[in-house]
Amino acid sequence: MAPLPAELFDPAALGARLEDDDAIAACKATIAQATEYLHQRFRENAPVESLIRQRAAFVDALLGQLWDLKIDADDNLALVAVGGYGRGELHPCSDVDILILLGPDAKGAETQLEGFLTLLWDIGLDIGHSVRTVKECVENARGDITILTNLMEARVLRGASRLMEEVQAGTAVDQMWPSPEFFRAKLQEQRNRHTKFADTEYNLEPNVKSSPGGLRDLQIIGWIAERHFGIESLERLSTQQFLEPEEIQILKEGREFMWKVRYALHMFTGREEDRLLFDHQRALAEMWGFEDGEKLAVEQFMQVYYRWAQALGMLNEVLVQNFDQDILTAEGDHDILELNGRFQMRNGYIEARNDNVFSVDPSAILEVFLLSARNDAINGIAAPTIRLLRRSLDLIDDNFRASDINHKMFMDLLRSPYKLTRQLKRMVRYGVLGRYIPEFGTIIGQMQHDLFHTYTVDAHTLEVIENMRRFQIPEFADRFPVTSRVTARLPKIELLYLAGLFHDIGKGRGGDHSELGAVDARTFCEQHKLSKRDTNLVVWLVQNHLTMSAISQRRDISDPDVIQQFAQHVGDQDRLNYLFALTVADINGTNPTLWNAWRGSLLRQLFTETKRALRRGLENPVDKQDWIDETRNAAIDTLEYRGFTVEEIEDLWQERGEDYFLREKAEDIAWHTEAIAGHHDMSTPLVLARSSVDSNVANTTQIFIHARSSAALFSRICAQLEQLDLSIHDARIYNANNGMTLDTFFVLGSDGQAIAEDAGRITDIREALTNALSQDASAQDVNRRTPRAKKSFSIPTETVMSVDEVKNYSVLEVATPDRPGLLARIGKIFVEFGIELQAAKIQTLGERVEDVFFITDAEQQPITDPERCEALQQAIRDELNESA
């Protein structure tokens, strides 16, 4: 390497200071000067490869000078750079990994070495060190491939080079870890690492070093190449005919991009930070010069990141497969099965039988995926054929997209029995799907900057289709029992896949993505000659893919009027079945942590009641009074069995409104009534709690409160529940004319999971609520920390108000970032405005909540004064935005 610039490192100046000044201060000043010099060059857009190599060279020179200062010349010692530092790559805050090699006659050096290492720590270098003999290095490498890998990249900085030569001889491929064994171990290491990151390049906060498509993927293939071919760099693979010129360019540009991201992360944070956390994503987007527009700057930057990660992931895949053929498959030992005149299967991989297969017949581009989806023995596409595919992408033009042959082939692919999602993922990775459906190409790598959407739009779409496949696999029947049965009844499964493929395709274009996607879906279906009925079904599903989730979580689905309206909107059982399967797949594909038994129970209840409404006939809606009478009579039967008379029951119920009997189950009404009858001290609240066994309310804990009505009651309840680490998922408030209120809350743990079947915990909840509501005090503050990820989002609060003419109350919708004390704050504002809460639907979506409050004024009337409505909403927005 060329001599280091004096601004980076002046060894003579450091030497003089080491003689005259405090060594620690002198070295710290030298490191700070070098760091600032490199950072300034980075800000000036100098090539990042030169910066990380210059930093490694600077540390080489610094360590060498300090070694000479602290260690007497000794041909039985060697200072060796290993790992990434050994490769000559050193990011600003990366560990400096060194090995001190001891010869057989190294004696009396312990004190000097201790002083040397202590100095390195004192001057602020993050040193990773080991002190070993040649024999220890060889023995440790034999048992640990990580140690061997570090030694493969070693460079001697000072001392006896012969010691490292002995290590290299002892760890050579003919001594240990032969190529096939090394390859298998490294491949398993990569699989394990990918599994940790959900096998996708599209993690919400990816790790630039370790996530799929990150720098480690390049290092893995570099290590394999070095072990097998003895080459020093990946670029040399081109001479081995493993990398084509285009791939060399992808390698260089992609690695430069990832290096630049990693350098910036270290520079911004001042530590070895390789995770692209939300705050860092925004900082890098600004540094890259992106600006908010139709897409946020951060979303534009992350789309670039994800596309590079995908390109590097594909490069890794191609090279690993090539190595597999070269290293593991013996020459001539090939199992070849001819599939047709264009393709054959070799050792489980489909490959083109000649290099002109796509140019002669462009439809073969789709055929290779169709054959893979029809033959379960095909594990993947051979690397040479992947390259042919990539070189043939220009053949996917308007004529290709208009071809009836290709239309039939694509639809046949959707009907194929094996590994459909894997084929679609490959089509995305190799650039085929984005060409065949250009609208899909625009969403590849497109993130949504929130905690609700775990994946990019394209990765989410494929995850949704994967969920649809899971509904058909027996192993998943326990997890999705109802959805599995419903999906099995769908007459044309490919229509469900098409709805999944197009449901989010309109995102990122502005406007309503459901409507934009519906237009694209109609065009696609008509081009592919689907019947008018099938086309209308797919279009309707895309338009309505959010409807069932919204109604189940934001409307009162115990109200027969709500069920009747939804049944009329759906129209028939087929549409209901398809929409139910799409909704469950979509929620699980958006963020797996959002799916729990509570959400599942709401969807099942809406599905079941709508199915009953369709079976009765839309012209025969259920009579609300019949519903109420049925519930009352069932509750009376239970209470009479427990010794109550009808007169006693009616006396206890005389202040109850019809909503109570519409929304509560008969067994719960009996539970409430019996407890109220036995609660004689009306000055203290009655608090009941039990884990629900009713499938309609899933695994929630049900809390019932009978207390004196007060303006601050809801706020105090919410604050106490949050202090108990509980999250409210449904709240029902019934204000009686006698000044009492009956409140029902369905709660889960703050992590969305059920509270353990623990009688002690239930007792603690009852006692804490009873004590909190017995005190004559306002709502207490909630003292809980907001998680780091949620602090990264400063999304403004949104509110909408409307009037439900049927129920005769106002509906207030609040969408805002989640934080501790949220419901208690809203409750306080209701008190200030003289608002009475009748019910609430609470929905937490990642970092965001979308809560619906059903409210009235003190006279139980909806709030219709526009100024009061706006003042109420403004107060909520101001309070929540300030607290965020």
Residue 293: per-residue pLDDT:
85
Q: How many domains does one find in the chain?
A: 6
**DSSP readout, 161-199?**
HHHHHHHHHHTSTTTSS-HHHHHHHHHHHHHHHHHHTTT
The HSE-up count of residue 69 (CA atoms within 13 Å, CB side) is 21
Residue 307 has pLDDT above 50, yes or no: yes
* Co-location of 652 and 684 in the same domain: no
* Highest averaged pLDDT of the listed ranges 511-515, 529-533, 822-826: 529-533
Last residue of a domain, one of 601, 622, 643: 622
SS3 label, residue 839 = strand
Burial of 317 (0-12, 13-18, 19+ CB in 10 A): buried
Amino acid at 269: T
Alpha helices in 557-665 (DSSP H): 560-570, 573-590, 597-616, 624-641, 646-653, 658-663
Residue 20 has pLDDT above 50, yes or no: yes
How large is the average pLDDT for residues 651-659? Answer: 86
CATH number of the structural domain spanning residue 269 = 1.20.120.330
* Co-location of 595 and 691 in the same domain: no
* Co-location of 474 and 560 in the same domain: yes
pLDDT band at 695 (very low <50, low <70, confident <90, very high): very low
pLDDT band at 681 (very low <50, low <70, confident <90, very high): confident
Residue 245: per-residue pLDDT:
83
* Co-location of 693 and 639 in the same domain: no
Residue 881: per-residue pLDDT:
84
Whether 429 is in a domain gets the answer no
* Co-location of 138 and 272 in the same domain: no
pLDDT band at 803 (very low <50, low <70, confident <90, very high): very high
**How many CB atoms neighbour CB 445 within 10 A?**
23
β partners of residue 275: 207
Residue 2 has pLDDT above 80, yes or no: no
pLDDT band at 16 (very low <50, low <70, confident <90, very high): confident
* Co-location of 188 and 142 in the same domain: no
pLDDT band at 461 (very low <50, low <70, confident <90, very high): very high
Residue 655: per-residue pLDDT:
78
Residue 884: per-residue pLDDT:
59
CA distance 467 to 585: 5
User: Do residues 149 and 119 make contact, with C-beta atoms less than 8 angstroms apart?
Assistant: no
* Co-location of 669 and 742 in the same domain: no
Which pairs with CB-CB distance under 8 Å and at least 24 residues apart come from 768-771? 768/720, 768/723, 768/724, 769/685, 769/687, 769/689, 769/703, 769/705, 769/717, 769/720, 769/721, 770/684, 770/685, 770/687
Question: What are the tokens at 62?
Answer: 């610094």
User: Do residues 284 and 263 make contact, with C-beta atoms less than 8 angstroms apart?
Assistant: no
Whether 29 is in a domain gets the answer yes
CATH number of the structural domain spanning residue 694 = 3.30.70.260
Whether 756 is in a domain gets the answer yes
Whether 427 is in a domain gets the answer no
* Co-location of 845 and 727 in the same domain: yes
CA distance 235 to 242: 10
* Co-location of 265 and 410 in the same domain: no
DSSP 379: -
pLDDT band at 557 (very low <50, low <70, confident <90, very high): confident
Residue 56: per-residue pLDDT:
96
* Highest averaged pLDDT of the listed ranges 494-498, 621-625, 834-838: 494-498
Residue 253 has pLDDT above 70, yes or no: yes
CA distance 519 to 538: 11
* Co-location of 406 and 297 in the same domain: no
Whether 432 is in a domain gets the answer no
Residue 777 has pLDDT above 50, yes or no: no
Last residue of a domain, one of 113, 144, 177: 177
pLDDT band at 462 (very low <50, low <70, confident <90, very high): very high
* Co-location of 355 and 309 in the same domain: no
Full domain range(s) for residue 349: 334-418
pLDDT tens digit sequence for 36-80? 999 999 999 999 999 999 999 999 999 999 999 888 877 889 999
Residue 779 has pLDDT above 50, yes or no: no
CATH number of the structural domain spanning residue 357 = 1.10.110
Q: Which of 309, 92, 91 is nearest to 206 (CA)?
A: 309
Last residue of a domain, one of 303, 328, 353: 328
The CA distances from residue 466 to 46, 102, 278, 420, 473, in Å, are 43, 55, 27, 8, 11
β partners of residue 802: 811
Q: Which of 310, 308, 250 is nearest to 430 (CA)?
A: 310
pLDDT band at 447 (very low <50, low <70, confident <90, very high): confident
Residue 847: per-residue pLDDT:
66
Residue 239 has pLDDT above 80, yes or no: no
The predicted model scores a pTM of 0.82
Mean of the per-residue pLDDT values of the chain: 89
* Co-location of 603 and 645 in the same domain: no
Whether 604 is in a domain gets the answer yes
CATH number of the structural domain spanning residue 67 = 3.30.460.10
- Backbone angle region of 230, left / alpha / beta, with phi > 0 → left and psi within -120 to 50 → alpha: left
Whether 752 is in a domain gets the answer yes
Q: What share of the chain in percent tops pLDDT 90?
A: 61
Whether 120 is in a domain gets the answer yes
Burial of 138 (0-12, 13-18, 19+ CB in 10 A): buried
* Highest averaged pLDDT of the listed ranges 31-40, 229-238, 726-735, 783-792: 31-40
Residue 154: per-residue pLDDT:
94
pLDDT band at 589 (very low <50, low <70, confident <90, very high): confident
Residue 334 has pLDDT above 90, yes or no: no
